[in-house]
Structure 1
Amino acid sequence: MINKIHILWADDEIDFLRPHVMLLEEKGYRVKTVNNGNDAVDAFQNEPFDLVFLDENMPGKTGLETLAILKTINPTIPTVLVTKNEEEHLMEDAIGSKIDDYLIKPVNPKQILLTIKKFTENKRLVSEKTSMAYQQEFRNLGMTINDDLDFRQWIDAYKKLIYWELSLQKLEDAGMHEILTMQKADANAIFSKFIEKKYLNWIQNKEEGPIQSHQLFKKKVFPALEAERPTFFFLIDNLRYDQWKILNEVITDYYRLEEEDAYYSILPTATQYARNAIFSGLTPLEMERRFPDLWQNDDEEGGKNLNEDKFLADQIGRLYRRDIKHTYHKILTLEQGKEIVESLNNLMQNDLNVLVYNFVDMLSHARTDMAMIRELANDESAYRSITLSWFEHSPLLDTLKWLAQRNVKVIITTDHGTIRVKRPSKIIGDRNTNTNLRYKQGKNLNYQAKEVFVIKNPHDAQLPKLHVSSSFVFSKDDYFFVYPNNYNHFSNYYNGTFQHGGISLEEMIIPYAVYTPK
């Protein structure tokens, strides 16, 4: 409440400010006044304050000298410098000393009140305004989602949902966040029906569709290459649009965001299919036919993403048709990330450098398998927070900082997203059926028809066919596949984990961003 707000005001002419102090006290604020820096420090050490006003030009300790001491005692208390001096060097010194704001004398009561509200009531005011704005937008968003949207409009709708999710997560209004979660679930249900209706026509090129995984280099990356400027293409595996949004806040400290776009992952939204399609420029069926010795199907032993460098070289020769120097690097460990930082001078000699970072994918798997990670990433907001924490302390950010000092172009994207699954869906398959929780490939699959998208002939979706009678089923919305045997155990074990491979906004609509250094 406002009557709990305690303000410390230090000014050697505090008597002339008595009318301001009286006004604040009438408004319910408690104000402690002192006329020098030493007394300000003593008061700050002995009483709890919510805000400090410091005059810059005081005898003895100046305002900035007093500020430095106060920040060592409690750096979290907002401090406002009050000064007659508008010289640039003073403002720079104040900012460097971590001042929270400054006011130029003579100050008027409205300035003082506005500043107090900014620092002591900002959270409440922002919360109320954001909640009210979302309530007003809720109906419009609902009507939009229920329209007959095309693939571009679905991207826009998803971006709006993410905007509100990131806005509401900062508030303590659990009710608003629950309403948004329900609205996202409704959107995913409608989006799944949209994909069922449109996907086969897109992949077969029967109608104009979005850019998909196998078209990314041809339609986006190759046209962006420049003769005199190296391009660094970063693929952060399993990065959702909302995760990219929070990383972007850090990246734009060093770069200008030149292009923000999104494209659609192919099905299955799994690394084996989507990422190989990106680097080969081919659908999975075309890869199987062109590279019978390199393509690995679900039922084959061994790694499924071991030949991306060969796929990339083939695509450059086949589609770009100009000799370019390029490299491909996959970063799986901290040491490999540090080695990349040390080799950046050499990479600057290439036209295109492709770097794949696997941390976010490993995080999603670790969250499934490790109880501690489950606790740390127990919801969407926490999952984003861990991703941001990794990025801020990663060699990837070190790499981006180094490149920000050079004449380069940076592209950041991913191969697919991931969704937090909540509802088990029963399925029956033989022992050769793959293990992914969001899609199944096999013979004689038995499933809950309303909860899946079925492709009975895989070739219709440009997918390899393991057997004559093989089919694919993709889970929709937030369902995940569970076999009937030991059903309750696995339902509980996987509930709330982040999975990929199926159909959802989070898995299929994924970020593509182009940056240039500031």
Structure 2
Amino acid sequence: MNTIHILWVDDEIDLLKPHIIFLEQRHYKVTTCKSGTEALDALNDTAFDIVFLDENMPGLTGLETLNEIKEKKANLPVVMITKSEEEYIMEEAIGNKIADYLIKPVNPNQILLSLKKNLDHSRLVSEKTTSNYQQEFRKIAMDLAMVNTYDEWVELYRKLIYWEIQLEDIEDTGMFEILESQKNEANIQFGKFIEKNYPKWFEANTNAPVMSHTLFKEKVVPEITPKQPTLLLVIDNLRYDQWKAFEPIISNYYKKEKEDAFFSILPSATQYARNAIFSGLMPSDMETLFPQFWKNDTDDGGKNLHEADFLNAQMKRLGLNNLNYEYHKITNLKNGKKLAENFSALKNNDLTVVVYNFVDMLSHAKTEMEVVKELASNDKAYRSLTQSWFKNSPLLDMIQQAQQLGFKLILTTDHGTINVKNPSKVIGDRETSLNLRYKTGRSLTYDPKEVFEVKNPKALHLPSITMSSSFIFAKSDSFFAYPNNYNHYVSYYRNTYQHGGISMEEMIIPFTVLNPK
């Protein structure tokens, strides 16, 4: 291990001799200077790991020296030490991105703690996180063996996401691989849970979770009030972990009041799940009651062109047609910028609904573009790419404006997505749907052990394209592949993000209510 080299700058450095001996006994190397000018010269000659800088010195002040250091070496950590507790000095120092701020008189242990915090931070966090996960691993394994309700599945999934995000930056990749294995096992068990329980959720007097078709009535409507405008933001294809990735950005403007999860219906795909949210109906009911708006998988034309019509019908059915509301769908950057530019015009609405399609486009682009495959090669990279987009998007601009205008913010999605790894062979005729995570059609041939098969779609409130149509759903991280040109097909789609099937990532999705700070 390389010796840590400290530059300590103080015009009364001789009085700090005991501190320096204390550090040297712990194998730190300390170079001392009595002025800012002397320190800047030393920085030209030597590579230091950290600087302790007195704020009150004759000649160049501590703040002036700090500015010079940051111009020369922007990433060198500087710890400011001062007798003064004046607020403007602290603000100046913090504005110049100091690493720490200590008030005199400092004791040796304070100095040691600051060194650990700034130079050993990554190692200490990594070791502690690994240790904590090792303790938690056994508990998660026990929970996984006993989980039996949809609420318990939500809690287990949240716990796995928490540890996934905690472990993604640590040095011990072995721990991350163990978590991945645990998450895969959880998805296998989750598939069994859905097969057994999902059909029951549609039976009368059954305890069922909030799902796509009940979300608006059960979760959104109670939040709408004439006293405060509400922005309902539906980000297409947003996984729970992606929400957690950009939650810290939103927390600069909004404070979280509630964070719930709900379940996407099957298929966990846009034309089913998002239409269900806005209509408040299951797909077979949409097909029956609104044949002019509903399209089946094999029909030509866009499948989500009538969300505003579905929403309007649901508002009337719920007796909310007296509310002043608008619906907007953003499918490209130009539309996003235009809505952001005119956002203040929405402040008189009781409810503004914005559907934002970027994340869905990102997942499809990963399938089709090699550069996106490189940028989003795994879940960690996929989260990072989503966060980077969000920081620079018109959507963040809208959220900032919504906060300034006093909007309540409801953020949710229609379904998530999963990185598919394992092909599952299926054979169908020309009328078979094309989605990789579910299939519907007449003559489907498949391994029943690998799928959730629904021979009577009406039982799950799904439409039947023909009298003999059935549905099959891929579970865990599998995807459907045809035997023709099998190897090419599998190679093309493996390690891409798909949706429509059964996994925690696709079905357990966020619903968050926030109020402006």
TM-score (norm 2): 0.99
The equivalent of 1:314 in structure 2 is 313
The equivalent of 1:45 in structure 2 is 44
The equivalent of 1:216 in structure 2 is 215
In structure 1, what residue type is equivalent to 2:38? D
The equivalent of 1:375 in structure 2 is 374
**Cα pair 1:83 1:103 within 8 Å, conserved:** yes
Matches within 5 A, 1:267-346: 267-346=266-345
The equivalent of 1:10 in structure 2 is 9
Q: 2:240 & 2:319 partners in 1: Cα distance?
A: 28
In structure 2, what residue type is equivalent to 1:146? A
**Cα pair 2:5 2:31 within 8 Å, conserved:** yes
Deviation at 1:444, TM superposition (A): 1.8
The equivalent of 2:200 in structure 1 is 201
Q: 2:407 & 2:369 partners in 1: Cα distance?
A: 39
Structure 1 residues not aligned, in runs of 5+: none
**Cα pair 2:263 2:509 within 8 Å, conserved:** yes
Matches within 5 A, 1:328-477: 328-477=327-476
Structure 2 residues not aligned, in runs of 5+: none
Q: 1:445 & 1:155 partners in 2: Cα distance?
A: 32
**Cα pair 1:261 1:513 within 8 Å, conserved:** yes
Matches within 5 A, 1:91-102: 91-102=90-101
Deviations 1:372-393 (A, max 9, x none): 1001111110000000000000
**Cα pair 1:11 1:36 within 8 Å, conserved:** yes
Q: 1:358 & 1:282 partners in 2: Cα distance?
A: 22
Q: 2:302 & 2:500 partners in 1: Cα distance?
A: 17
The equivalent of 1:137 in structure 2 is 136
Alignment partner of 1:30 is 2:26: no
**Cα pair 1:265 1:416 within 8 Å, conserved:** yes
Deviation at 1:205, TM superposition (A): 4.0
Secondary structure in 2 matching 1:4: coil
Deviations 1:334-387 (A, max 9, x none): 111111112112111111000011000000000000001001111110000000
**Cα pair 1:222 1:320 within 8 Å, conserved:** no
Deviation at 1:204, TM superposition (A): 3.6
**Cα pair 1:204 1:460 within 8 Å, conserved:** no
In structure 1, what residue type is equivalent to 2:462? L
**Cα pair 2:99 2:118 within 8 Å, conserved:** no
Q: 1:373 & 1:407 partners in 2: Cα distance?
A: 37
**Cα pair 1:204 1:462 within 8 Å, conserved:** no
The equivalent of 1:246 in structure 2 is 245
Deviation at 1:320, TM superposition (A): 3.6
The equivalent of 1:117 in structure 2 is 116
**Cα pair 2:324 2:350 within 8 Å, conserved:** yes
In structure 2, what residue type is equivalent to 1:165? E
In structure 1, what residue type is equivalent to 2:145? N
Deviation at 1:149, TM superposition (A): 1.9
Instruction: Go from structure 1 to structure 2 and tell me whether the alpha carbon gap of 1:269 and 1:412 turns closer, same or farther (over 3 Å shift).
Output: same
Secondary structure in 1 matching 2:404: coil
**Cα pair 2:298 2:433 within 8 Å, conserved:** yes
Deviation at 1:203, TM superposition (A): 2.8
The equivalent of 1:89 in structure 2 is 88
Q: 1:205 & 1:27 partners in 2: Cα distance?
A: 70
Deviation at 1:45, TM superposition (A): 2.5
Instruction: Go from structure 1 to structure 2 and tell me whether the alpha carbon gap of 1:271 and 1:257 turns closer, same or farther (over 3 Å shift).
Output: same
Q: 2:248 & 2:185 partners in 1: Cα distance?
A: 29
Deviation at 1:74, TM superposition (A): 1.7
**Cα pair 2:344 2:401 within 8 Å, conserved:** no
Deviation at 1:322, TM superposition (A): 4.8
**Cα pair 2:420 2:477 within 8 Å, conserved:** yes
Identity between Structure 1 and Structure 2 (%): 56
Q: 1:140 & 1:332 partners in 2: Cα distance?
A: 43
The equivalent of 2:232 in structure 1 is 233
In structure 2, what residue type is equivalent to 1:513? T
Q: 1:5 & 1:254 partners in 2: Cα distance?
A: 39
Deviation at 1:206, TM superposition (A): 5.2
Deviation at 1:239, TM superposition (A): 0.3
Secondary structure in 2 matching 1:412: strand
**Cα pair 1:204 1:461 within 8 Å, conserved:** no
Q: 2:303 & 2:457 partners in 1: Cα distance?
A: 19
In structure 2, what residue type is equivalent to 1:215? T
Q: 2:454 & 2:83 partners in 1: Cα distance?
A: 73
The equivalent of 2:158 in structure 1 is 159
Deviations 1:172-208 (A, max 9, x none): 2110000000000000000000000011111344511
Moved over 2 A (4+): 203-206
Q: What number of residue pairs does the alignment pair up?
A: 517
In structure 2, what residue type is equivalent to 1:393? N
In structure 2, what residue type is equivalent to 1:38? T
